[in-house]
Amino acid sequence: MKTFTIHTISNQAPIVIPSLSNTLTESLRQELNTNTNLNQLESGGDLEFAATITNYQVTPVAPQANEISAVNRLSITLNVEFINHQNEKQSWTSSFTRYADYSSGIDLSTVQEQLIKEISNQLVEDIFNKAVVNW
């Protein structure tokens, strides 16, 4: 195992945040570059990652007596296809969801960038751990 390829993550979520695709793609690249001895290729890597953002959603999670939520949850879901060209039995397709909570008294736009970074780091860690656990 010497190389990896990461295809740009596409965004098929009902709500599209323009920077999210690039943020997740670059985070996964950085994780693999930092924590493995693999070299990155534009195509044809021994390990191949393709992913789609399938959900970006804000939901209330702590309703109070007056039916106004005290906490909102930002959730992001990725569907990931991992192909190990050296050992096809280790290939998989999986869905990953992570979230971060924030006070409903705060406008999402003021914390969105920070929450996306936090959630992206969690998603990338999940993907990385599942992909490299067998080597």
Strands 47-60 and 3-6: parallel
Please give the radius of gyration of the chain, using alpha carbons only, rounded to the nearest integer. Answer: 17
Each residue of 77-105: pLDDT tens digit?
A: 999 999 999 999 999 999 999 999 999 88
Across the range 43-56, mean pLDDT stands at 98
Mean pLDDT (the chain, rounded): 94
Q: Please give the pLDDT value at position 133.
A: 76
Architecture of domain 3-132: 2-Layer Sandwich (3.30)
Q: How is residue 69 written in tokens?
A: 């939520």
DSSP 41: -
On whether the pTM is more than 0.85, the answer is yes
Q: How is residue 108 written in tokens?
A: 């999402």
Q: Please give the pLDDT value at position 134.
A: 67
Question: For residue 116, what is the enclosing H or E element?
Answer: helix 108-132
Q: Where are the domains of the chain?
A: 3-132
pLDDT band at residue 49 under the 50/70/90 scheme: very high
Which of the two residues, 66 and 125, has the higher pLDDT score?
A: 125
Does 19 score more than 90 pLDDT?
Answer: yes
Across the range 23-42, mean pLDDT stands at 96
